[in-house]
Amino acid sequence: MKLVTFVPLDGRARSFRVGAVTNVGIVDLASAYVLLMEAERHLSLSDEQALQAIPPDMIRFMEGGAALKEIAAQAMRHALDKAAKATPATWQARTVIYPRESVKLLSPVPRPSTLRDTISFEQHMKNSLARIGLKDLPKAWYEIPGVYRGNHLSVIGTDDPVLAPSYSKELDYELEFGIFIGKRGKNITKEQANDYIYGYSIFNDISARDVQGREMSLSLGPYKSKHFDNGNVIGPYLVTSDEVGDPYNLRMIARVNGEVWSDGNSGTIYWKFPQIVEYLSREETLYPGDFIGSGTVGFGCGLELGEKYLKPGDVIELEVEKLGVLRNRIVAA
C-alpha cells in the first residue's frame, strides 16, 4: 500500500486522515472502513468509531501491525469495488475516494518519533571528502554506520515550501530514501530487522554547505547546517515493505527546475538498512514512527556536482522508483 496523511481541501474533516493512494484517487481508510462494516456486518458507525478502528495518526496506524493493515486493505478494496460498479463511494455526505487535487498531503508521518540520518553510500562519502582534499575514507566508516540525529520537529511533506535560511548562500539538496520503523524493538539482529521495517519513503535532507563545513571542523555532528524550519522533507508516501519488494534496485533521480541533476541507484548503498537497524538498536529501543535515512546516493547533491546550489524560486524534485516524486519550491525564509 501507498499510505498518506492528508487533509481534504473542502474543510469538512476535523483532523488529519490516513489514506491509501490508488489509481482512482486517495481512499480515506476510516470512511472506507465504515462502508465495509455496513456491507459485511450491517453496522452503522460514527466518525469517532471509525477513527478508533482506523486511527488518523500514522504512528498509531503502524502500531496496529499486519492485522490493522489487512483490515485497511479490505476496506480500500471494498471502496474501489463500489467505485468500479459506479456505486457512489460516499458516507454521510463524506467523500471516501478523493481526487488527488482535492487534498493536501502532509509528510506521511508528520512528526516522526525520531529522525536519524546515515552516510551509507560510499561514492557520496568519497566525493564529499574529495571536496576538502581527502582521498581515503576513515577505516571506521567500513566498520560501523555513520549516523547523526536530525530535527524531527522540522519535517514537511511534498509541495510544502523549503525555507532557505538567511545565514546560508550554499543551500543544497540530498537525494535519499529512508525507512519507518513499525514496531518497538531492542538489540535487533540484521536477520530480524526487516520485520521491524514498516515501509519506505523519499527523504530530502536540505543542507547549508557553507555552514556545515565550519561545524564539521569542530569534530561534532551538523547542527545549524541542517537544523532549520522546513529543512527535512519526507514523502510523498509511506510505501509498505511488501509493495516495495527489493529496496536495493531503485532508480533515484533529482531534478531542479525540470533539469536532471542526479541519477543514481539505491543498489549502490554500502550499509543496508538491516545492518543499520542492528547497529542503532544495540542497547537502545527503536519505536514505531522512527525514521532512518539512507544518506545521499553517489552524485546525489549539488556539492558533488561542482558546487551547484539551490536558490529561492527553484523547484527541486526527488524521484525514487516505486516511492513517487517529492516536489518542493525553495523560498526565502
CB atoms within 10 A of CB 186: 10
- Residues 6 or more apart whose Cβ sits within 8 Å of residue 231: 151, 154, 162, 163, 165, 205, 206
Distance CA(122)–CA(271), nearest Å, equals 9
User: Are 2-105 and 115-332 equal in CATH topology?
Assistant: no
Architecture of domain 2-105: Roll (2.30)
Q: Indicate whether this model's pTM tops 0.75.
A: yes
Tally: H helices and E strands in the chain: 8, 21
Average pLDDT, the chain: 94
Kindly state the cell numbers that stand for 54. 482506523
Q: What is the pLDDT of residues 197-221, one digit of tens each?
A: 999 999 999 999 999 988 888 888 8
Distance CA(234)–CA(326), nearest Å, equals 8
Task: With CA atoms as reference, report the closest residue to 151 among 95, 180, 113, 108.
Answer: 113
Question: If 0-12 CB within 10 Å is exposed, 13-18 middle and 19+ buried, where does residue 52 land?
Answer: exposed
Side chain identity at 302, as an amino acid letter?
Answer: G
CATH T-level fold of 115-332: Fumarylacetoacetate hydrolase; domain 2 (3.90.850)
Distance CA(108)–CA(236), nearest Å, equals 7
Q: What is the pLDDT of residues 240-291, one digit of tens each?
A: 999 999 999 999 999 999 999 999 999 999 999 999 999 999 999 999 999 9
The domain limits of the chain are: 2-105, 115-332
